[in-house]
Amino acid sequence: MNTTPFLAAVFALSAGAVAAQDAILTVSGADSATTYSHDDLMALPQHRVATTTSVTDGVVAFDGFLIRALLGDDLPDDAVVVATALNDYQVEIPVTDFARYDVIGALSMDGETLSPRDKGPIWIVYPRDDHPELQDIRYDTRWVWQLVSLQVQ
Ligand SMILES: Nc1nc2c(c(=O)[nH]1)N[C@H]1C(S)=C(S)[C@@H](COP(=O)(O)O)O[C@H]1N2
Ligand SMILES: [Mo]
């Protein structure tokens, strides 16, 4: 089959099996694109968010990388990040969210690696319990699960 390694990884991912070194996330800007494997993302400084969610009982602990760590330093305040998931779900997120809040790309929940079956391998998680204004449907739509790309516009 004539597919790029990235697409091959996405297909493997949807089948439930992906190696730790396969590309699972693409971050792109106007003229660049960087891909990250699970190992790459685990090697970034890890940050914990303890929060309730719409799909779990009580408070759970998510660990992952800060989304802002993957974005450039001098993005204009009106920049948006288009987050795309494996099921083609897409939402625009203002970059100011990532400066204002410690939003993470969660790789595990309560110490268990997130798999594509339970919203993994990457789930955008907001520190909702720490900020009442985040307890709003506008933000719920930004909790993208099965995240595959972030495109800065
Ligand atoms: N991959 C993916 N992420 C998604 C969605 C989706 O359809 N696909 N729906 C969004 C919306 S509209 C909401 S309200 C939240 C919560 O959805 P859930 O309760 O079904 O998890 O997830 C967001 N993340
Ligand atoms: Mo929703």
Q: Give the mutation target among 144, 146, 149, 150 for probing the ligand 1 site: most ligand atoms within 8 A of CB.
A: 144
Q: Is 143's C-beta closer than 6 angstroms to any atom of ligand 1?
A: yes
**Which pTM does this prediction carry?**
0.90
Measured in Å, residue 129 CA sits from the centre of ligand 1 at 18
Phi/psi of residue 40, each to 5°?
A: -60, -45
The band of 56, judged by pLDDT with boundaries at 50, 70 and 90, is confident
- Cα–Cα nearest to 86, from 114, 120, 62: 120
Q: From the centroid of its chain, how far is CA 19?
A: 18
pLDDT at 13 over 70: no
Residue 6's Cβ-side half-sphere holds a number of Cα atoms within 13 Å equal to: 11
Residue nearest ligand 1's atom 10 by CA: 141
Interval 95-141: pLDDT, tens: 999 999 999 999 999 999 999 998 999 999 999 999 999 999 999 99
Measured in Å, residue 146 CA sits from the centre of ligand 2 at 15
Domain 4-152 has CATH 3.40.50.12780: no
